[in-house]
Amino acid sequence: MGLDKIKNILNEGDIINPDSPQYEEQCRTWAAQCNKKPRVVVQPKDLTTLSTLITYLNRSDLDFAIRCTGVGNASAKDVLVSLANFKSFSFDAQNETVIFGAGHNWGEIDRKVEEYAPGYAAVGARCTYVGVGGSIIHGGQSWLSSEYGLSSDPQNFLDAQVVKMDGSIVWAAEEPDLMWALRGGGGGFGVVTACKMRVYKYPSSIYCGQIIYPADALQDLAREVGAFAARCSDPKVALHLYCLNMSMGTYAGNEPQPGLAIFAYDANGEEHGRSEAGFKWALDIKGAVDLTKALNIREVNEGFDSLKATMGVTNTWQCGATLSSIDEGLILRSWKWYVELVNKEPSLARSTYVLIEMMQKAAYQSLKYPSKETAWPHTRNQHNLQMGAGRIPGSEEGDLVGYQAMANGPFEIKAKHTKADYFPNFLEGFVDPKEVFGENWPRLVDIKKKYDPNNKLGGPFSER
């Protein structure tokens, strides 16, 4: 039986088989090793069909997963359910809110907000190809987070339409436990089909872009970035420091190449961005190559489109470790970790990076810690250390080196690191979710049992 029943639920055009030219793209995962090569990918066209499908899959023996069309690692042996057709969008000008289908990526939302809500911006992702549903319910970091908090915070994520495992359809705000769990707890509780979010009036001219440095600028750059992070408290200013030349290496589709670069972001505009209060210090460092310009928020996010080049190409492991502060020593240790790992296992150069993200306190501290308002209890930390290690598939030994490097990396780079200091969007096997979710863990386990009693959607809160 199995897949034959699905063919009776869906139209023929809604089913993508392995011999279809669309198949590879529709089931691709960010990390190649996570792709289970599903027997079929299905794209229900409406809510009623999706509800019928979920009811059947929940009662069946089929392995299935939900994909919001972004760049996550959702996959299944049997059925991958894609929400690609859920593209509704509406703007409520009076209440300054938007409701949009979970099949969008953030680039599509940026364009629709620009068209239907000009002058506004959502607390969305910092690149275009991330799916809206998956990013919101796993926390959601944004260029706007330093001012307004995370995507999943209650002031931003107002409601979600959910198909429950029994096929019933609800708006999660009607069931407070469900809404609470979706705010940072991930996707193991039901199928999110639409999100309601607040939008904010936001500047249309943002000073941003890469400033690239030669390797011998490391000491000066580490010192100046640390000093800037310590003194800057402007919620419209952010900075990313890469231990990788993002404009020249594999993330732009080229051969891997180590390098140093910062990405400057100043929503106060170009004049401020180039001033003493902004990034003049960064432009004055010897050897700096200035690639900055003035863009709107959509264009800022589109500038990272080339990073999608490695999706599904490498076996990859990632983590986001939160930081209490950014200083010279942290930056030097990050560079040391990166260079030593690539020298030890050259094949990891293709997709290995360290990204230090300077944010303001509101990003993680818009709610009192530990938060009882959201599934993820937040953190006392302020900034983020995002790391990744990846290589072309083919060597189990090489994979093990990459995995272990990620498991140990935060402890080697941070002066102090605890098992709780992780952002919930990357929960690899080396991260203990009980530590990450802390005292909210028992409630999440109970909610998981209530909403997905057969554990068909998996996730960290299942009985182990």
Q: Tell me the domains of the chain and their CATH numbers.
A: 3-82 (3.30.43.10), 89-202 (3.30.465.10), 206-433 (3.40.462.20)
On whether the CB atoms of residues 104 and 118 are closer than 8 A, the answer is no
The DSSP output letter for 244 is S
Cis peptide before 370 (omega within 30 of 0): yes
The DSSP output letter for 348 is G
Q: Could you give the 3-state DSSP secondary structure of residue 355?
A: strand
Instruction: Outline where DSSP puts E strands in 214-302.
Output: 237-242, 260-266, 289-290, 293-295
d(CA 182, CA 199): 19
The helix or strand, by DSSP H or E, that contains position 318, with its residue range, turns out to be strand 315-323
Q: Could you give the 3-state DSSP secondary structure of residue 206?
A: strand
The DSSP output letter for 413 is H
d(CA 310, CA 319): 17
Q: What angle do CA 95, 87, 115 make, to 5 degrees?
A: 55
On whether the CB atoms of residues 354 and 413 are closer than 8 A, the answer is yes
d(CA 234, CA 278): 10
Token representation of residue 447: 């909610």
On whether the CB atoms of residues 378 and 364 are closer than 8 A, the answer is yes
On whether the CB atoms of residues 158 and 97 are closer than 8 A, the answer is yes
Residue 93 pairs in a beta bridge with none
**How big is the chain, counted in residues?**
464
Among candidate residues 41, 90, 83, the one with its CA nearest the CA of residue 191:
83
On whether the CB atoms of residues 451 and 190 are closer than 8 A, the answer is yes
| pLDDT score for 246 | 46
**Residue carrying the six token digits 């199928």:** 191
**Residue carrying the six token digits 């809206």:** 132
The reported pTM is 0.94
| pLDDT score for 306 | 81
Q: Could you give the 3-state DSSP secondary structure of residue 103?
A: coil
Q: Is the dihedral of CA 364, 213, 313, 124 positive or negative?
A: positive
The helix or strand, by DSSP H or E, that contains position 324, with its residue range, turns out to be none
Please give the distance of CA 318 from its chain centroid, rounded to a whole number: 11
| pLDDT score for 307 | 80
| pLDDT score for 247 | 46
Nearest 10 degrees: Cα torsion 17, 23, 24, 29: -90
d(CA 276, CA 266): 12
On whether the CB atoms of residues 23 and 2 are closer than 8 A, the answer is no
pLDDT in tens, the chain (464 residues): 578 899 899 998 999 999 999 999 999 999 999 999 999 999 999 999 999 999 999 999 999 999 988 888 999 999 999 999 999 999 999 999 999 999 999 999 999 999 999 999 999 999 999 999 999 999 999 999 999 999 999 999 999 999 999 999 999 999 999 999 999 999 899 999 999 999 999 999 999 999 999 989 999 999 999 999 999 999 999 999 998 654 444 444 555 566 799 999 999 999 999 999 999 999 999 999 999 999 999 999 999 888 888 889 999 999 999 999 999 999 999 999 999 998 999 888 878 899 999 999 999 999 999 999 999 999 999 999 999 999 999 999 989 999 999 999 999 999 889 999 999 998 999 999 999 999 999 999 999 999 999 999 999 998 64
d(CA 262, CA 225): 9
Q: How many CB atoms lie within 10 A of CB 169?
A: 16
Instruction: Outline where DSSP puts E strands in 77-228.
Output: 79-82, 89-92, 97-101, 120-122, 157-163, 169-171, 191-201, 206-213
The helix or strand, by DSSP H or E, that contains position 3, with its residue range, turns out to be helix 3-9
